Structure 1
Amino acid sequence: MIISGLLLSGADYLIDADGDRQAGLYFSKYESSIHAEYGLTSRWTVVLQLAVQQISQDNNGAADTASGLSASRIGLQARVWQHDRWVVSVQGSAVIPGGGENVADRPLGDGANGVEIRALAGRSISNAGFADIQYGYTLRSDDYPSEQRLDLTAGWRLADRYSVMLQSFNTISGADRQRNNRSFSQHKLQLSAGIRIRNGELVVGAFTTIHGRNSIDESGWTVSWWRRF
């Protein structure tokens, strides 16, 4: 499967350590991404994630811009259990920094190599729906903060050609002892709708930040093309 996507987002507010929104920020991001999975066997799958970004931000007069790859991931996924409508997998990936976003609450381009371990569980619901939960833990070198991710997805096919998805993306970092000793969290909701076109599916979505700490109040749009082969 290959998912190629475009993202456009922006923010006008910071979210401080108490979770309150503060003015004084300008942020914009354009991103082109690809997520690819290729089954080596019935159990093992290679996973690749790349994103090219163009980002500009101004935080109360402190400007920062970046253009290039964000943190990339390449790894292996293994199915460890399957029964009836359930399937459970584990995934290990190398995390390679780029010139864009790498580590939460850090300057653009700042980052280090890391390893992500991810557990995935999914279940089909009747013949038209599914639910998916993923938990990932990223450990980085050079004392960069660790990171936890919890991604939740529920989807439903309304008809043969049309589908909807509701997703929750949650990121929580450890304390950044190397820089400012503060932690980071951001929680986003995304609603998407898809339509099958020939041998693929066009998916359009909108997302917004509902809560966070030491983060930005980011909202935006996504367009992606999903194709299985």
Structure 2
Amino acid sequence: MCQVRLVRIIVLFTQVYVFSTMLGIACVARAYAGAWPMEKGKGQSISTFTWQGGMHGFDRHGKARVDLSFQKYENAIFMEYGLTEKWTVVARPAVQNVRLRFEDVVDQAKGLGATELSLRRALPGWKKWVLSAQAGSFIPGSVENGFDKPLGQSGLDWEVRALAGRSLNMAGRHGFVDLQLAFRERSGGSGNEIRLDTTLGSQITRRMQVHLQSNIVVGLPSSRPDIRTVDSFKAQASAVWFFRRKTGVQLSLSRTLTGRNVVRDSGLTLGFWQRF
């Protein structure tokens, strides 16, 4: 079983590498989030409205042959604030409206989703890399609290995360790469998760940035046989236009490319960035 899990993790990580290589972006400039700490007394907020929907899901073998109906609307705000030169506080509350129909069962709820509260610590850098560590919790809400839980089922989750970022200048364009590896401790018997988030960014004009992201979730086996193991590999492409120096708007498209026991959804996000 452990060997099978290891092979699956290696395969998913390889998919991220291939995906990033195919994108071929000459990355990137200064990052204002991720591994980079916020300056003391400064911060940013990203307010987003997201729609996600899908008519099929991946079964336990990774085949997209499960018929279902999924709709999700979410208003969220991601906030970062520099407490000191080394410590950054992170918060992300979200209001959701979710409906999932599978076979003859409909699960529907609206209200507050899980809220992230985290603290990030800047670490000594390595060569040209910026390094940091983050720990936080996900306070359950009344709607979506995880891939594998019925809507509204609560339970406090914990996460530790290692972050690495690097500014680049290639082909005359500024950019950045941000890599994040996390372990999430789940509650209520749900399987723990390993997560890998990758962001590549490029400043294509003075006011326009392009971000390409991949988000991998590798579910570890649960101690309870009635709880399914969930895997997910999602890709997202975003354009951010700063019509003012500290204010911008975002348009993103996302797609779950592969997974197990998860919806094959597509998504559209509109966002508003504000640095302060």
Interval of TM-score (by shorter of Structure 1 and Structure 2) = over 0.9
Query: Partner residue of 1:216?
Result: 263
SS in structure 1 of the partner of residue 147 of structure 2? coil
More helix by share: 2
1: distance between equivalents of 2:194 and 2:53?
23
SS at match of 1:21: coil
Q: Quick one: which of 37, 51, 63 aligns to 1:8?
A: 51
AA matched with 2:138: V
Report percent identity of matched pairs.
36
CA distance in 2, matches of 1:69, 1:166: 28
1:146-172 C-alpha deviation (Å, 9 max, x unpaired):
122111000000110111111001112
Number of residues of Structure 1 aligned to a counterpart in Structure 2 = 229
> In the alignment, residue 226 of structure 1 is paired with which amino acid?
W
1:179: how far off?
5.6
Which stretch shows the higher mean deviation, 98-107 or 36-45? 98-107
Q: 2:197 aligns with which of 138, 141, 151?
A: 151
Q: Going by fraction, where is strand more abundant, 1 or 2? A: 1
Residue by residue, what CA displacement relative to the aligned partner does 1:67-92 show, whole Å, maximum 9, x if unpaired? Answer: 11221111210001225642111011
User: Is 1:178 aligned to residue 178 of structure 2?
Assistant: no
The alpha carbon displacement at 1:181 in A equals 4.4
Q: Distance in 1 between matches of 2:243 and 2:127?
A: 30
- One-letter amino acid of the counterpart of residue 270, structure 2: V
Question: What is the CA deviation profile of residues 159-208 of structure 1, one whole-angstrom value per residue up to 9, with x for unaligned ones?
Answer: 10111111001112222333624311011111111111123111101010
Q: Which structure 1 segments of 5+ residues have no match?
A: none
Equivalent position to 2:214, from 168, 174, 179 = 168
Task: For residue 165 of structure 2, give the secondary structure of its aligned residue in structure 1.
Answer: strand
Name the CA distance, whole Å, in 2 between partners of 1:140 and 1:214.
17
Match of 1:114 in 2: 157
- Out of 203, 210, 213, the position equivalent to 2:250 is 203
1:66 alignment counterpart = 109
- RMSD over aligned CA atoms reads 1.4
The separation in 2 between residues aligned to 1:179 and 1:102, in whole angstroms, is 20
Counterpart of 1:187? 233
One-letter code of the match for 1:193?
Answer: A
Give 1:111 deviation, angstroms.
3.0
Is the Cα contact below 8 Å between 1:112 and 1:144 reproduced in 2? no
**TM-score for both structures, normalised by structure 2:** 0.79
TM-score (norm 1): 0.95
* Contact map agreement 1:104 1:173 (CA 8 A) in 2: no
Distance across 1 between alignment mates of 2:67 and 2:163 = 38
Q: Partners of 1:141 and 1:205 in 2: how far apart?
A: 31
Please say if 1:91 is aligned against 2:134.
yes
Residues of 2 paired with 1:142 and 1:207: CA distance? Answer: 29
C-alpha displacement at 1:227, in angstroms?
Answer: 1.6
Task: Say whether the 8 Å CA contact 2:148–2:227 is kept in structure 1.
Answer: no
- Please tell me the residue identity of whatever aligns with 1:92: A
